[in-house]
Amino acid sequence: MKKSVVIVGAVLIVISIAVGAMGAHALKEILSDSSLKSLETAVRYQMYMGIAILSLGLNYHKFRKRSFNYFYLFILLGSILFSFSIYGLIWADHSSFFSLKKVFGPLTPLGGTLMIIGWSIFIVQFSRQKEDDP
């Protein structure tokens, strides 16, 4: 087990629950249907990645440390950039900070790309392991 990774995964899960609850209740009357759908997507991906990171941390001993660090960092950074940029875009839509769209807009696909790279590294590393490898 890698305690710090498990904690990071759990923190992502907690944040996604809190943001999802805010969206379902407090923000439901404020946000447009489009913004709510975007929020739901960001929350869902953050939850998925949080659960995945938590699972990876619990199974840390089964991976090569260097490969683990790469796919963990790509997945974590991708998740943060993807979900939090969507949160930022929604905030920019409903505030006077429209210039923030120029900052947050490109971060969403970058975050998605980093998650794809991270999971691709995981697939390659995992497929190279023998059944009995740690």
Four-point Cα dihedral 117, 119, 125, 127, nearest 10: -130
Q: How far apart are CA 38 and CA 32, in angstroms?
A: 10
The answer on pLDDT for 99 being more than 80 is: no
> What's the pLDDT tens digit per position in 27-74?
888 888 999 999 999 999 999 999 999 999 999 998 889 889 999 999
Q: How far apart are CA 84 and CA 17, in angstroms?
A: 14
State the pTM of this model: 0.88
**Cβ neighbour number for residue 115 with a 10 Å cutoff:** 23
Q: What's residue 64's pLDDT?
A: 87
Q: Which of 74-83, 86-95, 96-105 has the highest mean pLDDT?
A: 74-83
Q: What's residue 98's pLDDT?
A: 62
